[in-house]
Amino acid sequence: MVLRVGMLFVCLVLMTLTADARSGVFDLTKYKPGGDIAQALLAAWKEACASPTPSKVLIPGGKYTLGAAELLGPCKAPIELQVEGKVMAPAQPKGESWVTFQRIDGLTLSGKGSFNGQGHIAWASNNCHKNPACKGFPINLRFNFVNNAMIKDVTSEESKTFHVNVLGCKNITFQNFKIVAPAESPNTDGIHIGRSEGVHIIDSNIATGDDCISIGDGAKQVHVQGVTCGPGHGISIGSLGKYDNEEPVAGIFVKHCTLKNTDNGVRIKSWPAMKGGSASDIHFEDIVMDNVLNPVIVDQEYCPWNQCSKNAPSKVKLSKISFKNIRGTSKTPEAVKIICSSGFPCQDLELSNINLKYTGNQGPAKSVCKNVKPKITGTLNPPGCH
């Protein structure tokens, strides 16, 4: 078996790994705590990746420091990284990635362990909302061009910026995945998806400072189910229409989710004036809102920090959108806010069985619509939009 070679290499050269050639498990147990496991992890990964039979790299229980790690494919057979330990990033921000999985077909990331980005230092110096030339911070976990992947049970904590970035992936599932960061941590989006197809986020819990799940251009067939978000900014499509050549967003299904104490519930946002683009076939169903600022919101005048001109309408086309069976409580009187583009009014938008109770005392609650003629079926509470 090829893993013999890996075992010798790893044990003799690094003295930090044990490999069980028969089961294809590379175990970092012999590693002495306190230092950086990057070298040991990369060596084990390289050997496992070269194995013609399925293999596993194991980070056992314990606390470890890991510098930036690029876990690259293609591998000869499916590969698993099982993390049982608490893996800590270097405290000082460096580069734009911490742990990257790239060009792998058949990846499993599993275990009860965690990736802790030690974000507090980065958060204090983050001025990216005001300074477009700000330097980026490392993302906890990047999945670049990874196909047929399962990410289960692990936790991402305290990322310096986004926790997870999914780019160019096909058939990738996050299940029983956990994200933890405080409400006031800036730019700490939970899972950002761009230019990927067949993304499933199931039975997961995301508490963070920015979007729970953000869906960018080129995302297709994204299924979010049984996810609890909060604190954070909710589940968001966009923002779209800021850059040239954005790919369409199509086929987004968000079901059986709960949003607790978030700024937004379910949202679609695009920039006014700037670039074109489209989002279609987007469905939110069976969603519980618990004390959410803007539970249902389409905002085609999204322009934070005045980074754009609001004088021209958004060029992003929105169509085939539904909000169904949405109930719970709103912290603002405008519980439903559908603000579409005057240049490209929303097409084929449905509001069905919406029951949101305003918990404050700033006048009567209402639903507000602009540049859209929604199809309303069942209840629409608060009323409006006709």
Give the residue with the Cβ less far from ligand NAG, 91 or 202.
Answer: 202
Q: CB 176 → ligand NAG: shortest distance, Å? A: 13
Give the residue with the Cβ less far from ligand NAG, 171 or 353.
Answer: 171
Q: CB 146 → ligand NAG: shortest distance, Å? A: 10
Token output for 114:
């965690």
Pairing mode of beta strands 294-299, 164-167: unpaired
Give the residue with the Cβ less far from ligand NAG, 107 or 297.
Answer: 107
Q: CB 198 → ligand NAG: shortest distance, Å? A: 7
Q: CB 151 → ligand NAG: shortest distance, Å? A: 9
Give the residue with the Cβ less far from ligand NAG, 80 or 299.
Answer: 80
Give the residue with the Cβ less far from ligand NAG, 147 or 187.
Answer: 147
Token output for 241:
């229409």
Binding stretches for ligand NAG (CB under 6 A): 148-150, 171, 173
Contact predicate 241/212, CB 8 Å: no
Token output for 82:
């099982």
How far apart, in whole angstroms, are the C-alpha atoms of residue 160 and residue 140? 7
Residues 6+ apart with CB under 8 A from 129: 186, 187, 304, 305
In this structure, the number of other CB atoms found within 10 A of the CB of residue 44 comes to 31
Handedness of CA 114, 117, 123, 126 (dihedral sign): negative
Give the residue with the Cβ less far from ligand NAG, 110 or 187.
Answer: 110
* Residue that has been written with the tokens 């893996």 in this structure: 87
How far apart, in whole angstroms, are the C-alpha atoms of residue 31 and residue 46? 17
Q: CB 106 → ligand NAG: shortest distance, Å? A: 7
Q: CB 223 → ligand NAG: shortest distance, Å? A: 12
Give the residue with the Cβ less far from ligand NAG, 227 or 266.
Answer: 227
In this structure, the number of other CB atoms found within 10 A of the CB of residue 330 comes to 23
In this structure, the number of other CB atoms found within 10 A of the CB of residue 225 comes to 17
Active-site positions read: 233
Contact predicate 195/247, CB 8 Å: yes
Contact predicate 40/6, CB 8 Å: no
The CA R_g of the chain, rounded to the nearest whole Å, is 22
* Residue that has been written with the tokens 């910026």 in this structure: 161
Token output for 258:
């709960």
* Burial (CB count within 10 angstroms: exposed 0-12, middle 13-18, buried 19+), residue 352: middle
Give the Å distances, CA to CA, from 60 to 84, 96, 108, 117: 5, 26, 16, 19
Q: CB 381 → ligand NAG: shortest distance, Å? A: 40
Cis-peptide into 138, omega within 30 deg: no
